[in-house]
Chains A and B, each alone.
Chain A
Amino acid sequence: MKGLAGLAARSAWNRRLTLSLVVASIALATLLLLSFDRVRTDVRESFSQSVSGTDLVMGARTGSVQLMLYAVFHVGGATNNIRMASVQAIAGHRSVDWVVPLSLGDSHRGFPVLGTTQDYFTRFRYGDRQPLALSEGRPFTGDIDGLYESVIGAEVARALGYGLGRKITLSHGTGGGPGAEHADKPFTVVGILARTGTPVDRTVHISLPAMEAIHIDWAGGAPLPGVHVAPEDARKFDLAPKQVTAALIGLKSRAAAFAVQRYIADYPGEALMAVLPGVALDELWEVVGVGEKLLLGLSGIVALVSLAGLVAVVLAGLNERRRELAVLRALGAGPRHVLLLLAGEGALITLLGAGIGVLATALLIGLAGPAIQSHFGVALKLSAPAMSQWLLLAGVVATGLLASLVPGWRAYRLSLADGLSPRI
């Protein structure tokens, strides 16, 4: 019906205040759904990119999830260490490009301490194969002169307010126990890493020889009674590490990953295992990803509530439109036109709301993205909606269309029952 659209537009403009509230609530629902979903996918991606560019993670034989937990997230402890000799043997495999040994177990005020080599700073990759960068200072030298040097992650520096030159004391284990301090051998902060949004931010890095040095007068998790080695004297000992906790392995070709994995599993000298980080991270996400489903469910409810609002507003407005509809009927508009008028309006309102929601989401991510990355370490990407977001959007629009049919249908019934004199 020619002219009906123009009429609908004028009529809608006449009720613009109510309708704009509906548009706003649909836009908000869309914003919530889309940004929840964006956060969800990007958190997952940040998670799965806590380590990249590493082809295998090796440790003592245990569960793959547990190995990832302590080797990459520095959570929990290893049941067994592995011998440095084994690590060196694996490093000699013809497909292996590099090996970075990791030694864990100590902490500093709740932050895990990682003993490693200088290679760590050049080999470790996170996210989209991004290398580590120092925001201040330099890496530890790793030699005898720079024995008590440490490099701290961005979150450690921020949370504890540390700057370069700060003296820090490490605790044995997760800390807290009396006398379990390596108080006699303080470390100096020589470098602070730039924020990565990965567990690296929460880690204190020292060299492997330093790890040996602070444990030189320890045995079985406690200081040896009556033995004390002064920090300077420790330098005279053989500080070559005998054991480490895990190792990151880079291959010359990723195609060799399974062959090397099998080689490590069959290593005769010791019970070892290696996992593909991507696979293990996915397994780990299955464990921690329950919350994400809850979040998605919640945002779905939010969307439903605001669409119910759309129906409520249009239905409430229907009574005041009954005269208008009666007038249109007297002028030759049929119930079909009435239905079309209301359903069309609902559809446009929904589309408009969804469109504004999409724009608002883009705006929010664009504006708040950098702040979120620096505070929470989650890199929110401003990109075209992913498949799941298209589905959510389609869901919002479809529900809106269905919801607008309800008032349309009711108006149709009313216009049939009212005749020309609306009974209100």
Chain B
Amino acid sequence: MIEIDDLRFAWRGAAADCIAIDWLSVASGERVFLYGPSGGGKSTLLGLLAGVLVPHHGHVSLQGTDWSSLSGADRDAYRADHVGYIFQQFNLLPYLSAMDNVLLPCRFSAKRRARATAEAGSPREAARSLLERVGLEPALRTRAASMLSVGQQQRVAAARALIGHPEVVIADEPTSALDAPLRDAFMDLLLGQCAAAGSTLVFVSHDERLAARFDRVVPLAGINHSGGLKAPP
């Protein structure tokens, strides 16, 4: 599903590699907890997994497709089709309603639009059912994202990552802005929805307490043997 082979990446101007991973493989449908302290190059690795950043050495491939083999525009299209991404925070467009935020991936990807339509009849209907499943009250669907609480925003973000059944869901510290009860509820929801959709989940966090819920735990420090564990400048 996801394969990393002899990956090296350095930020421009940095002396040492930020990421140096010899081998990592994630099976389809697997739920992986990528554990690492802050500043360990987690966000950089996720950028590489999502094809936003390109390694200057080695390969990152998704479903057998090497990101490096695609042109810039093709990477963007491929990402839109196959990757659902959840940010740490502030990850919604504040001027769109919860509903429109969830529908965003369908704007960029015909494939996900088609899958959402196949599942629920229309992308809008799919978004509605997803928002219902993540537990957002119907009254909040049309509210601007900027008017939602942090917990509500994170639910909408999960729904947005899941719409149209992307093969891979990548989550970058999605619980760091949530308090304990909200965090547990959110984890239940995310893991449940990924299992239901059969999506592969790569979950990055520095919070070890979450590790127990995953199929596999990969400490970033164990696989990344780059010299400097420095965040990009």
Contacts and interface: CB of A to CB of B under 8 A. Distances in A.
A327 interface: yes
Nearest to B95: A14
Contact of B104 (A331, A335, A420, A423): A331
Given A2-B107, A330-B52, A11 B95 contact: yes
Contact of A332 (B53, B81, B93, B95): B81
Nearest to B89: A323
A3 interface: yes
A88 interface: no
B47 interface: yes
Contact of B87 (A330, A332, A334, A423): A330
Interface in A371-424: 417, 419-421, 423
Contact of A420 (B73, B85, B100): B85
Contact of B93 (A11, A329, A420): A11
A420 B80 contact: no
A1 interface: yes
A258 interface: no
Interface of A is mostly: helix
Query: Of B47, B52, B77, B172, which is in contact with the most chain A CB atoms at under 10 Å from its CB?
Result: B52
Nearest to B112: A332
A417 B47 CA distance: 11
Contact of A334 (B72, B95, B107): B72
A16 to B, nearest CB: 10
Interface in B152-200: 160, 172
A175 B87 CA distance: 87
Given A332-B79, A332-B81, A334-B72, A10 B95 contact: yes
A332 B96 contact: no
B86 to A, nearest CB: 9
Interface in A139-174: none
B117 interface: no
A138 to B, nearest CB: 72
Nearest to B49: A420
B50 interface: yes
A332 B83 CA distance: 9
Interface string A327-360: 1111111111100000000000000000000000
B79 A420 contact: no
B107 A419 contact: no
B94 interface: yes
Interface string A314-331: 000000000110111111
Which 8 pairs of residues, A with B, have the shortest CB-CB distance?
A332-B80, A334-B76, A14-B95, A419-B47, A332-B108, A3-B107, A330-B85, A421-B43
Interface of B: 12, 43-44, 46-47, 50, 52-53, 72-73, 75-77, 79-81, 83, 85, 87-88, 90-96, 100, 104-105, 107-109, 160, 172, 232-233
17 contacts: A3-B107, A3-B108, A7-B93, A11-B95, A323-B90, A327-B91, A327-B93, A328-B93, A330-B52, A331-B107, A332-B109, A334-B72, A334-B75, A337-B76, A417-B12, A420-B52, A421-B47
